[in-house]
Structure 1
């Protein structure tokens, strides 16, 4: 977009990717800079550029909305209120990666690690994987990411992508008891997903974001308040189907992607877990890790 090179910007590297974030609205970049303050600066050849801006100059004041401008073509996203600029910027980063990255099998999942082994968590939206990854990441596990897991076809490892954690509704007070207040970004109420607030990744996760881990256990969580904790071993075929369906670029990676996912389910047993509390989820995870970690 003409003139965008003069907008306030933030250059940041997250895991193996560099991003340039831009907006003519200084407050949007300031909010992003707060969340990404512990990350290294992206190199000169950052892979992705994401901008959020009013669709026209006059829209800065009259029904002010924001739209995305990305250097990789992404699916259309309806304009968002100006007050939700940070949410639009984060969504743009997700869409850029989902639409334009083929070096890794991109799995919509949360992941944490202990030592050189990783626990991979995937499932339907709202199943609790992001909350569980965030909780474990503040209770002795190394947080690898909560939005995308990067599975390398070259080495079968999960490469960290520890973006700020997008907390929703009841997850917000739950993590407020785990993380310092200054790690949180602004709270957005009234979004299509309810209340949303970002939590910066733990400093240790950012420090070690170039250290991959081998998948050891795959978990498909299902949170239902008050339910009893249960687990069920899944077949390799079930696990393969779930992981391939959770990948945004599985088809585009071709044979290399197929082999990477199949090797993962061969090496890492998969379980469905159901739980009604954080304590129950942590108990089930520790039980599985004691056996397979």
Structure 2
């Protein structure tokens, strides 16, 4: 059964009693909420995701619910809970869905040490993956959102999951986070894209979530071979420029952007080394998404010919 097969009433009822177990492979997340607007956003953004039996094992038990007491009624706030414990400060209730997304990211990054987890977008085509590690403001999520609507498969826009045993990349194919000016940019680039209403005044500015392509969700259990590491940088009015990146610098970048590099110790060092060694590494400056699409298509074509 998929999320889309629930009526609005049934989905909210399932959320209220904490029985919504969503298969976000490679993890299962059990979600509870008493916020009807959050149920609507989950219904739209996760419509293609499988729902498991309420008795299924879940890796993470999360909740986003109204703050108790008077704040339930006066300027209502929502709070995120992990395993029944409040985990972050409460936020205005209209930020409930972004809070859920941020909370799930935190759960995975802080607790899933079977993978080397890197703050990076990952997309795939013909079995070959591009890893785009970058700090906030680099334009990686905008670039990721554009490319997955032009034939690339989404693995993740935030968390690259690298399995050091089989040297493959995995992702959860969850909604893509768009911020500030990237929202109208993607709306203009892909008018048919399904995007939540923009949420203003968050700690990250105005945010919205883009529904992942159905094909990406359907293939979420299929890993990809790391082939390129691309450090993107948006620069207004710049011509598209793809330049080689020294592998030593790429190693340091991946290590710095990894959430659990230190947790893995020597194995983490070796995992980052293996990941970098398996990839061609580049720095990419762009301003126009059409140019970016051409550059990434050329990367793919050169790999196939080579």
Fold match (TM-score > 0.5): yes
SS of the residue corresponding to residue 113 of structure 1 reads strand
Pair 180,71 (structure 1): closer, same or farther in 2 beyond 3 Å: farther
Is 1:189 the equivalent of 2:200? Answer: yes
> What is the root-mean-square deviation in Å for CA atoms of aligned residues?
2.2
SS of the residue corresponding to residue 186 of structure 1 reads coil
Q: CA deviation at 1:264?
A: 1.3
Unaligned runs of 5+ in 2: 1-13
Match of 2:44 in 1: 34
Cα deviations across residues 15-54 of structure 1 (Å, max 9, x unaligned)? 2011111112222123212211110114600100111123
Is 1:18 the equivalent of 2:18? Answer: no
Is 1:48 the equivalent of 2:60? Answer: yes
Is 1:103 the equivalent of 2:108? Answer: no
Asked if the contact 1:273–1:284 (Cα under 8 Å) also holds between the matched residues in 2, the reply is no
Q: CA deviation at 1:82?
A: 1.0
- Runs of 4+ in structure 1 over 4 Å off: 178-182
Paired with 2:132 and 2:193, the residues of 1 have a C-alpha distance of 27
Match of 1:170 in 2: 181
Pair 158,73 (structure 1): closer, same or farther in 2 beyond 3 Å: farther
Asked if the contact 1:112–1:141 (Cα under 8 Å) also holds between the matched residues in 2, the reply is yes
Is 1:78 the equivalent of 2:89? Answer: yes
Match of 2:270 in 1: 259
Give matches, 1:1-293, under 5 Å.
Answer: 7=17, 10-42=20-52, 44-71=56-83, 77-179=88-190, 181=192, 183-292=194-303
Cα deviations across residues 152-188 of structure 1 (Å, max 9, x unaligned)? 1111111122110111122212222454657222321
Pair 224,108 (structure 1): closer, same or farther in 2 beyond 3 Å: same
Q: CA deviation at 1:116?
A: 1.3
SS of the residue corresponding to residue 196 of structure 2 reads strand
Q: CA deviation at 1:288?
A: 2.9
SS of the residue corresponding to residue 134 of structure 1 reads helix
Matched residues, number: 289
Paired with 1:260 and 1:72, the residues of 2 have a C-alpha distance of 34
Paired with 1:197 and 1:33, the residues of 2 have a C-alpha distance of 15
Pair 225,266 (structure 1): closer, same or farther in 2 beyond 3 Å: same
Paired with 1:219 and 1:58, the residues of 2 have a C-alpha distance of 49
Q: CA deviation at 1:81?
A: 0.2
Pair 263,72 (structure 1): closer, same or farther in 2 beyond 3 Å: farther
Q: TM-score, normalised by structure 2?
A: 0.88
Unaligned runs of 5+ in 1: none
